[in-house]
Amino acid sequence: MSASIASPAPAGAARLTIRLVLIGAVLVLALLPLLNRLPPDSALYVSDFIVSITGKWITYAILALAIDLAWGYAGILSLGHGAFFALGGYAMGMHLMRLIGPRGVYGHPTLPDFMVFLGYKELPWYWLGFDHFPFMVLMAMAVPGMLALVVGYLAFRSRITGVYLSIITQAMTYALMLAFFRNDMGFGGNNGFTDFKELLGMPLNTDAARAALFYASLALLVVAFLVCTRITQSKLGRVLVAIRDAESRVRFLGYDVTQHKLFVFVLSAVLAGLAGALYVPQVGIINPGEFSPGNSIEAVIWVAVGGRGTLVGAVLGAFSVNALKTWLTTVAPDLWLFALGGLFVAVTLFLPRGLIGLFSKAPK
Amino acid sequence: MSDEISPPLGQGKAAKPVLYLDGVSVVFDGFRALNNLSLVVDPGELRAIIGPNGAGKTTMMDVITGKTRPTAGVVRFRDHDLTKLDEATIANLGIGRKFQKPTMFDALTVFENLELALKAPRGPFACLRWALTGEARRRIEAVMEEVGLSARAQDRAGVLSHGQRQWLEIGMLLMQDPELLLVDEPVAGMTDQETEHTAALLVRIAGRRSVVVVEHDLEFVRALGSKVTVLCEGSTLSEGSIDHVQNDPRVIEVYLGR
C-alpha cells in the first residue's frame, strides 16, 4: 500500500499546474447554472437535469474528500461513511419537515404528516430546535462528529485497525439503518422525509433554488478541498501518512496515534455530514436507504477509482464513477452493479494509483 | 564487575542511574523470555549487550519502551515507572529506539522523516500549525550531515540502501534528542567501513546521552570499547569489559563456543 501512494506534497511546477486545472474546473462548474438560463434552443444550453445532477455529484465529491482524508492519508478505511452523510442529511430533512408547517396533507400546525399518521400528540424532544436553520447546521456537523468521536475513540484506543475497523464501521451504518427503519424512532421510518416545501424562505424545485443549492455545494467543496489541502501539506499530513504506513513506529517517536486518528476521523465525519445536509434538498428525499452499507462501499470505490491519497483523485473519482453510473443505469440498468464491481477489480489490478495515476508520473 | 571501566567523559559513578531494571521477568505462555533480569545504565554510559539468539535482548528493549509489559520486576527511567506508561509517553520522556529491522516512513523523504522525529509538540493541532523554523532546519541538516545523508535529503526513504536506512533511523533517534538511546543491531548488513563509521558515531553520541547497543558483531562491540553485558536465557550471565567477558568460562560455554 505504501510505495504506490503519492507523497502529500507535489513539486513546485506540478503544483502550479494542478492549481490552474482546479481553478478552471471550478469556473466551468460555476458556469452551469448560468448556462441553464439560456433559451433551450441555444447551443450552450444546460438542462435542469444536468444542473441538479451535477449539484448532487458535488456533494458526493465532498463525501469522497472526507473518505480520502481518513483512508488515503491516515489509512482508516471506513466502510460506514455513508452513515455520517445520512445523519447530516437527516438533520437537514428534519429542518425541511419543520418548515412545511401547516401545509402538510393533514394540515397539523406543528407535527409533520408522518407523526400525525402515527398518532403522535406532540413533537418529540429531539425535534426541538430544528425549525432554526443555524441549529440544523450545527447538528448536521455535531451529530456525525460525536458519533465518529465515540466510535473512533473506542476503536483507536483499543488499536483496532485494518479490516476489523472496516467491519466495525460497516456494522455501525447497518445498525443505524435498522434503527431508522423503525417507525417509533420518530424519523419517519421506512419512508423517511419528503415533500419538502422551502429552505431559507426559498421555494424548492425552482431554478433559483436549484442554482442556490448548486453554488452552496460548490462553495463547500472548495472550502473542504482547501481545508484538506492545508492538513495534508502540514506536518500533521505527514504524521497521518506515517501512521498509515507504520503505525507503531509513530508511537515510538512519541506521537499519540489515537489523538491524530481521532482528529482526522471526526473532521472527516463532519465534512460528510455537511455534504449530506446539502444533498437532501437537492434530491428532495431522505430515507434509511441512505444508511445502507452498499452506499458507503460505493463511496469508497469512487475514491479508489479516482486515486486515494490524492485529494484531486477523490473528487475526480466521485464525478467519473457517478457519471458512468448515470449513463449505465439509463442504457442498461441491470449491468450497473457488475460494472461497479468490475471497475473496482480493474482499478485495483491495473491502476493501483487510480485515474490520477494516468496524469502524474510514478513516484521516484 | 571485576574489570573496572571508567565511564566515558568522566561521568561520576555516584550519579543516579538513568535506567534501572531489577528482577524483571517476562513470561509468554510459560516461556520465560526474561528471567529475573537486572541492568543498570549510568548517565552518559555506552553499554553493549550481546547474547545468543533468544537470550531476551529484543524483549528487554520491548519492556523498556512499553511494547511489552513485564510479568514481574522493576523498570525505572530516572524516577519514572515504565511499566505503567505507553509507548508514546515513554518516547516523550526521552527514550529513543532503533529497531532491528530499520523502520521508517517510506513514502516520506529523508528530510521529512527527520522532521517528524524532531523533538517538538506532538499533538494534532500543534502539528497542523507547525512551521519549519531556521533553527529546526539547521538541526535537521546537522543530523543529516552527521549520518552522511545530506545528499539524499529530498529522496524518499523507500529508495535508500539498507545501510542508509540504518543511518536514517539513527538520525531519527538523534532528532528526538533522547536521554537514552536503545539501538538494536545497528550494523546488521553493513560493510566493514560502514560498521567502523557507525561505531565511531555511537561513541560520539554517548557521553552526552546514555546508549544501549544490542549487537552480534563482536568486532563492532570491541570497537565500541564499552562495558559489555552478556545475556543468556533471559538473565545476565556476565558483565565487564569485552576481554573479561570473552575469557569468562560461562560465556565461552554458552555463547562464544569452543
Same domain, B165 and B194: no
Instruction: Indicate which of B62, B63, B105 best probes the interface with A, i.e. most A CBs within 10 Å of its own CB.
Output: B105
Interatomic CA distance for residues A212 and A208, integer angstroms:
6
Interchain CB distance below 8 Å, A248 and B88: no
Give me the pLDDT at residue B10, please.
41
Same domain, B7 and B125: no
Distances (CA, A) of B155 to A138, A309, B109, B160, B163: 44, 19, 5, 8, 15
pLDDT in tens, A56-111: 999 999 999 999 999 999 999 999 999 999 999 999 999 999 999 888 888 888 88
3-state secondary structure labels for all residues of B35-78: EEEEEEECCCCEEEEECCCCCCHHHHHHHHCCCCCCCEEEEEEC
A6 to chain B, closest Cα gap in Å? 7
DSSP letter, residue A190? G
Same domain, B193 and B257: yes
Interatomic CA distance for residues A261 and A244, integer angstroms:
10
Q: Are the CB atoms for A196 and A96 separated by under 8 Å?
A: yes
A253 to chain B, closest Cα gap in Å? 6
Grade residue B219 by pLDDT with cuts at 50, 70 and 90: confident
Q: Is residue B218 predicted with pLDDT exceeding 90?
A: no
Same domain, B245 and B194: yes
**pTM for the complete prediction?**
0.89
Indicate the angle between helix axes A81-100 and A257-283, nearest 10 degrees: 40
Q: Are the CB atoms for B243 and B229 separated by under 8 Å?
A: no
What totals of helices (H) and strands (E) does chain B contain, helices first?
10, 10
What are the structural domain ranges in chain A? 44-296
Same domain, B13 and B68: yes
Give me the pLDDT at residue B206, please.
84
Grade residue B229 by pLDDT with cuts at 50, 70 and 90: very high
Exposed/middle/buried for residue B157 (C-beta within 10 Å: 0-12, 13-18, 19+): buried
The rounded mean pLDDT for chain A is 91
Same domain, B53 and B164: no
Interchain CB distance below 8 Å, A238 and B86: no
Give me the pLDDT at residue B257, please.
59
Give the residue, B215 or B254, on which the prediction is more confident: B215
Residues of chain B found within 8 Å of residue A250, distances taken between Cβ atoms: 116
Same domain, B162 and B196: no
Pick from B160, B177, B194: which residue ends a domain?
B177
Same domain, B79 and B184: yes
Q: Are the CB atoms for B238 and B248 separated by under 8 Å?
A: yes
CATH number, residue B35: 3.40.50.300
A55 to chain B, closest Cα gap in Å? 31
pLDDT in tens, B113-164: 999 999 888 999 999 999 888 899 999 999 999 888 999 999 999 999 888 8
Same domain, B185 and B170: no
Residue in A238, A259, A264 closest to B108 by CB: A238
Give me the pLDDT at residue B56, please.
87
Same domain, B144 and B221: no
Residue in A252, A254, A363 closest to B156 by CB: A363
Give the residue, B71 or A11, on which the prediction is more confident: B71
CA-nearest residue to B182 within chain A is A252
Pick from B135, B155, B177: which residue ends a domain?
B177
Q: What phi, psi does B226 have (nearest 5°)?
A: -110, 175
Task: Using 50 as the pLDDT threshold, list the residues of chain A that sit under it.
Answer: 1-8, 363-364
Interchain CB distance below 8 Å, A245 and B106: yes
Same domain, B219 and B253: yes
Please count the structural domains in chain B: 2
Interchain CB distance below 8 Å, A235 and B86: no
Residues of chain B found within 8 Å of residue A234, distances taken between Cβ atoms: 127-130
Residue-number span of the structural domain to which B129 is assigned: 100-177
Q: Is residue B188 predicted with pLDDT exceeding 90?
A: no
B184 to chain A, closest Cα gap in Å? 14
The rounded mean pLDDT for chain B is 87
Interchain CB distance below 8 Å, B124 and A245: no
Q: Is residue B27 predicted with pLDDT exceeding 70?
A: yes
Same domain, B110 and B78: no
- Strands B80-81 and B72-77 turn out to be antiparallel
CA-nearest residue to A237 within chain B is B128
